[in-house]
Amino acid sequence: MDPAEKDRLMKKGTDLVFELLNIKTEVKKKQKMLKKYGISLRDFMEDYRLVEVKEEAVEEKIEIPNSVSIHTDVCLLNFQKVTDNHGPFDVIMMDPPWKLTAKDSTRGVNLEYTQMDITDIGNMEIPLLQEKGFIFVWVITSTYVTAINLMKRWGYKLVDELVWIKKAHSGGLAKSHGYYLQHAKETCLVGWKGGDLPVIGQASDLILAIRGGQSEKPLEIYDIIEKACPGGKYVEIFGRKRNLRSGWVTIGNEL
């Protein structure tokens, strides 16, 4: 080997070694920070390995029988056209990308989606999708009251709520970032409009399920909805590929 080429490769290899050492040092710092917040890196790695497997499966098989996916920016969506073609719907579910405030600290976690402010979310023509039925809205702590007010504005009354307790693959709580307390749960508000509320009582208001990827919701929520309104027309707003489900219309810009 040419001596000059050998020196070049040796220098490149040395640079890589130092780069790896720097990464190792940075990882140790981050692990100490996680320990301070009471978060186990092992739990995260176990959970996200499962998420990677699921996402690979989704990439391989996007075709879901009897499902409809509408790839669009929700802010530009023609809600009336969706209703004309697929509705009106018995159940609406949405996980709005609420714009975080200073108090909704992410502890340095990079959010993988574009956030929307309250005005844009409130301006969505949700009433056009449904004459009578349920709406399920996922909220964060700081938007709990705001979401209730938006539901009222759209013509719904709050009738109940679901709480998802996030479990780690190890069996413990999957605690994550939070401003005051570490969050290990999410809340989904349940609204109704259109006359007398049907008596259901077939499901618990508590979901115990392993945490998935960022913003991913448990499959149990779909089972609860389908039991509450069997044979109905269902639509999910702000859905992703992994949310595609038989019998559902899924709308979002990541489909």
CA pair distance 128, 179, nearest whole angstrom: 36
Assign 249 to helix, strand or coil. Answer: strand
| Contact by Cβ (8 Å): 71, 243 | no
Strand order in the sheet with 248-252: 68-71, 248-252, 234-237, 91-94, 133-139, 185-193, 157-167, 206-210
Q: Provide φ and ψ at 159, rounded to 5°.
A: -115, -20
pLDDT greater than 90 at residue 200: no
CA–centroid distance for 184 within its chain:
14
Q: What is the pLDDT of residues 26-85, one digit of tens each?
A: 767 766 776 666 666 555 554 444 444 444 544 444 567 889 999 999 989 999 999 999
Amino acid at residue number 110: N
Residue 242: which pLDDT band, with cuts at 50, 70 and 90? Answer: confident
Residue 7: which pLDDT band, with cuts at 50, 70 and 90? Answer: low
How many of the other CB atoms lie within 10 Å of CB of 159?
Answer: 14
CA pair distance 117, 98, nearest whole angstrom: 6
Bridge-partner residues for 165, per DSSP?
A: 185, 208
How many of the other CB atoms lie within 10 Å of CB of 22?
Answer: 10
Backbone dihedral region of 221: left (phi > 0), alpha (psi from -120 to 50 degrees) or beta? alpha
Q: What's the fold here for domain 45-252? A: Rossmann fold (3.40.50)
